[in-house]
């Protein structure tokens, strides 16, 4: 699908820099490039040239690179202009591109064209944005693996097995008089069981990839002066929150992202929860409860010397039933206790000192376990919530199919729906509105 219109955008980040890049994609860019540089460019050869305005005056000087379709990022003719990184000069060159017939590219439109032209599949396209936005080294490495096709190969392998089973089933339905072995030999049941196991394993790996990309939202909650802000500073490795002995110091949420063995954890320090007559503090407490409703994990910080304080218990009893929680028993340096991790009924407790850092490793391990994170260096790929949902849908249809072995038409329908669920991941079956939503979140020029 070669687009006839030409798109252009500044591909480097806003601001001043040593180098600025303008990217152009479309059909017939050889003549377009000649109008900008007054020369014919050789394919895949960097040429030092002035970039000219309509009167032939130089706007800038830099490298011009021409990639002929289909051997380019988008699968179309692509022109990259590498000049100086000043905002004014970049805008002048971009304006000249528009005068020559280009239009401004939408966010993610270059990658969208790469997908529509078959250069990459949808999962790979999404990994481009994931690589740009990666917040940890491990996430960047995993996103690169997805971009290279690691995740797509897993999905493609599952899809091929589903197609094989559907083909065998359709032969049975179309030619029942033929001796086509299907259910009677047990092959179909074995094949389906194998596919189910592989979908289960892929779903588990995809959940890890989703955690690696998105991380979890954890809120630090508790009564005033139990050390929430001190714990945030200790986890962050710097003084990001104000710490004083005055109750109610933290009145608004303080957010910080930390890296726990490659998994991003978005930690929010909140106002101390208590009854108060201070109008401003009450607003902060109200916001705390609103944040708790949206969180994945609550770190309930308590003073180790008063582990069963009524105020702490009242906070815990009010937490949403489905919210993961860890009871963080802080200030063991004052309570004369050692660091430990233990279960008390249905409650997990970790005994730490935010002041000295003792027990911090145990707390991080507890956070891993609550999130379902299993640190690994190899075989990881980034994934999104929609990928997890699609695999869950495939898992559900396979389970239904397993109970319909005596009703082959319905069995076939469940396999078809499984096929569609898997295809939605790579883009084989994808609605246009979903594509618009995905690519609109990319940066301009990518």
Name all domains of the chain by residue range, CATH numbers in brackets: 6-118 (3.30.1360.120), 127-212+384-426 (1.20.120.430), 215-371 (3.40.50.300)
Q: What is the pLDDT of residue 267?
A: 82
Neighbours of 297 (CB within 10 A): 18
- Angle in degrees, 0-180, between the axes of helices 137-147 and 122-133, rounded to the nearest 10: 160
| pLDDT band for position 311 (cuts 50, 70, 90) | confident
Most confident by average pLDDT, 89-93, 170-174, 283-287: 89-93
| Structural contact between residues 73 and 120, judged by C-beta atoms closer than 8 angstroms | no
Please name every residue paired with 301 in a beta bridge, in sequence order, or none if there are none: 328
Segment among 10-24, 110-124, 299-313 with least mean pLDDT: 299-313
What does the H/E/C string look like for 153-218? HHHHHHHHHHHHHHHHHHHHHHCCCCCCCCCCCCHHHHHHHHHHHHHHHHHHHHHHHHHHHHCEEE
Q: Is the pLDDT of residue 238 over 60?
A: no
Q: Is the pLDDT of residue 404 over 70?
A: yes
Measured distance CA(302)–CA(329) in Å, rounded? 5
What's the CA angle centered on 14, arms 12 and 19, to 5 degrees? 45
Measured distance CA(415)–CA(158) in Å, rounded? 12
% residues pLDDT > 90 (the chain): 37
| pLDDT band for position 308 (cuts 50, 70, 90) | low
| pLDDT band for position 439 (cuts 50, 70, 90) | confident
Q: What is the pLDDT of residue 249?
A: 44
Q: Is the pLDDT of residue 92 over 90?
A: yes
């Amino acid at each position: 699908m070669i687009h006839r219109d030409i798109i252009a955008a500044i591909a480097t980040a806003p601001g001043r820099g040593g180098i600025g890049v303008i990217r152009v994609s479309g059909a017939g860019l050889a003549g377009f490039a000649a109008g900008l540089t007054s020369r014919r460019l050789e394919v895949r050869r960097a040429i030092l040239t002035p970039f000219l305005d309509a009167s032939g005056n130089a706007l800038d000087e830099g490298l011009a690179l021409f990639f002929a379709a289909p051997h380019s990022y988008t699968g179309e003719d692509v022109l990259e202009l590498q000049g100086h990184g000043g905002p004014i000069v970049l805008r002048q060159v971009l304006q000249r591109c528009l005068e020559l017939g280009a239009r401004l590219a939408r966010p993610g439109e270059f990658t969208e064209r790469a997908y529509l032209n078959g250069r990459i599949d949808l999962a790979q396209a999404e990994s481009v944005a994931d690589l740009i936005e990666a917040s940890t080294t491990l996430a960047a490495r995993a996103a690169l693996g997805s971009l290279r096709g690691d995740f797509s190969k897993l999905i493609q392998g599952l899809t091929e097995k589903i197609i094989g089973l559907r083909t065998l089933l359709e032969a049975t339905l179309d030619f029942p008089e033929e001796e086509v072995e299907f259910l009677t030999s047990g092959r179909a049941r074995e094949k389906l069981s194998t596919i189910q196991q592989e979908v289960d394993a892929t779903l588990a790996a995809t959940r890890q990839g989703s955690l690696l990309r998105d991380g979890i939202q954890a809120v630090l909650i508790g009564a005033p002066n139990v050390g929430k802000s001190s714990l945030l500073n200790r986890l962050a490795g710097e003084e990001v929150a104000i710490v004083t002995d005055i109750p109610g110091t933290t009145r608004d949420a303080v957010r910080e992202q930390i890296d726990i063995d490659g998994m991003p954890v978005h930690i929010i320090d909140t106002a101390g929860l208590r009854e108060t007559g201070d109008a401003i503090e009450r607003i902060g407490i109200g916001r705390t409860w609103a944040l708790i409703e949206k969180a994945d994990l609550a770190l309930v910080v308590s003073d180790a010397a008063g582990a069963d304080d009524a105020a702490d218990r009242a906070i815990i009893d009010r937490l949403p039933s489905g919210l993961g929680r860890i009871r963080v028993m802080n200030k063991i340096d004052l309570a004369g206790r050692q660091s430990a991790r233990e279960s008390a009924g249905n409650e997990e407790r970790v005994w730490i000192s935010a002041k000295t850092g003792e027990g911090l490793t145990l707390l991080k391990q507890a956070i891993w376990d609550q999130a379902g994170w299993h640190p690994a260096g190899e075989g990881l790929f980034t994934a999104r919530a929609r990928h997890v949902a699609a695999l869950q849908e495939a898992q559900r249809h396979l389970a239904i199919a397993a109970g319909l072995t005596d009703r082959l038409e319905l069995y076939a329908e469940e396999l078809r729906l499984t096929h569609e669920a898997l295809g939605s991941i790579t883009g084989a079956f994808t609605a246009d509105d979903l594509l618009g939503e995905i690519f609109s979140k990319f940066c301009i020029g990518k």
